[in-house]
Amino acid sequence: MRYARRIAMYGAVTALALSASPAHATGSVTGAGPARTAAVAKTPYGEVREILRRLTTVDGAPGALAEVSDARGRTVITSGVADIDTHTPIAGGSRFRIGSLTKTFTATVVLQLVGEHKVALDAPVERYLPGLVRGNGNDGRHITVRQLLQHTSGLPDYLDHLTPQDILRDPLAHHDREEVIGIALGHPRLFAPGKGWKYSSTNYVLAGMLIEKVTGHPYGEEIGQRIIRPLGLHDTSVPGDEPGITGPHPRGYVRPGDSGLVDVTEFNPSVANASGAMISSGADVNRFFGALMNGRLLRPTELRAMTTTRPTGGSSDRAYGLGLQSRSLPCGGLYWGHDGDIFGFQTMAGVTADGRQVTVLANLDPGGSEAQDTDLRAAVTTALCEGAASKPAA
């Protein structure tokens, strides 16, 4: 989600000053046990530690976390604080909002339905949501399910027209799916379906509605039944209208302009819906992406469809599949994953074909800060490359 990319516009909230307490960095290898009870790390990940320190001492994030899984086990590295008032250190087993990482869960369920012959990827959206997508050149009769999942539909992003003021004016308010779809359809299509690429959370709100129409169950129930419970993702949930985060978690902050930090931990994530509402942890996100890429969640045909990408344009090396993106690694090869930002949190996750996994978090939505975005990306690629170097010789 990209709510707080425009948060600097919002100046009518009370700001909190960032605590000047020193950052700290720790590490742990957990094996099969919980991250927060693990022993001292056997693997240093020194460069990753330095990046997390930079995130919390230079970039301005209160806290940062990286959880790595590779041939040597699980390593958790943290820096900074979970709460700027109490100065509580950020905990390795923390839960947090994962924003647009939710899209990969949603796409996985749609592709499972494709594998069950309940959805056709190249069928028009109109078949499943008749009459819903109409207006200003937007027409579900000419947009396919595949185009929704790959952001090639041409549908406007409702978040480009729903400002942070609108959301934070009443952060506990419920937002209907029809409401946000209506906001998007009130604007002209961006391009003819299939003729361009533009990231749009509207696509994934519609994908969640498609899941409900086909299965008769809310998208969150289907994610729970098909992914969360089978994989044992005990820290993962689809919260609906619930504004809080259960279990151990950091506070989430935004920075409106230069006025300090604002705590936005509690807000109703219904505005994100199937495009970005979920909560998880580093361990669970890694387990999910590992299971996805090793074929536990999708049949080979659907996994190939998910990993068939197209360039997204611009200077980025990102290529986008169906709810999954690839990027190059500085040590060679590429990794798969997704990014997510939502009020209070920014996350990135990556997994390589040989099973190295990492999830990184900052409990500050950067609001357009390139420094935080760059350093989180560097933490992902550095961890995956160091993991490759640690692989035992064949």
Query: Does 21 qualify as catalytic in the annotation?
Result: no
Residue 234 pLDDT > 60: yes
Q: How far apart are CA 177 and CA 199, in angstroms?
A: 18
- State the pLDDT at residue 2: 54
Ranges 104-113, 166-175, 242-251, 338-347: which has the least confidence: 166-175
Q: Answer yes or no: is 341 within a domain.
A: no
> Is the residue at 368 inside a domain?
no
Whether 66 maps to a domain, the answer reads no
pLDDT at 47: 97
Q: Is the pLDDT of residue 176 over 90?
A: yes
Residue that is written with structure tokens 């937007």 in the block: 138
Residue 331 placed within a domain: no
Annotated catalytic residue, options 100, 201, 270, 369:
100
Q: Can you give the pLDDT at residue 391? A: 59
Residue 342 domain flag: no
Residue 58 lies in a domain: no
Total domains in the fold of the chain: 1
pLDDT score recorded for residue 383: 97
Range with top average pLDDT, 12-21, 192-201, 311-320:
192-201
Provide the domain limits for residue 242: 1-15+90-310
Confidence (pLDDT) at 27: 52
Which of the residue ranges 25-29, 280-284, 310-314 would you say has the lowest mean pLDDT?
25-29
| Tokens 């935004």 -> residue | 254
Indicate the pLDDT class of residue 89, thresholds 50, 70 and 90: very high
Question: Model confidence over 306-316: pLDDT tens digits?
Answer: 999 999 988 78
Q: Which of 224-233, 258-267, 361-370 has the highest mean pLDDT?
A: 224-233
Per-residue pLDDT, 260: 86
Could you tell me the CATH number of the domain that includes residue 202? 3.40.710.10
Of 108 and 258, the structure prediction assigns the larger pLDDT to 108
The gap from C-alpha 80 to its chain's centroid, in whole angstroms, comes to 21
Give the pLDDT confidence score for residue 38 in this predicted structure. Answer: 38
Predicted local confidence at residue 329, as pLDDT = 97
* Domain-embedded: residue 247: yes
pLDDT for 345 beyond 90 = yes
- The yes-or-no verdict on residue 40 having pLDDT over 60 is no
3-state secondary structure the chain: CCHHHHHHHCCCCCCECCCCCCCCEEEEECCCCCHHHCEECCCCCHHHHHHHHHHHHCCCCCEEEEEEEECCEEEEEEEEECCCCCCCECCCCCEEECHHHHHHHHHHHHHHHHHCCCCCCCCEHHHCCCCCCEECCEECCCCEHHHHHHCCCCCCCHHHCCCHHHHHCCCCCCCCHHHHHHHHHCCCCCCCCCCCCCCCHHHHHHHHHHHHHHHCCCHHHHHHHHHHHHHCCCCCECCCCCCCCCCCCCCCEECCCCCCEEECCCCCHHHCHHHCCCEEEHHHHHHHHHHHHCCCCCCHHHHHHHCCCEECCCCCCCEECCCCEEEECCCCCEEEEEEEEECCEEEEEEECCCCCEEEEEECECCCCCHHHHHHHHHHHHHHHHHHHHCCCCC
In a domain, 59, yes or no: no
Q: What is the pLDDT of residue 128?
A: 98
Q: What is the mean pLDDT of residues 16-37?
A: 39
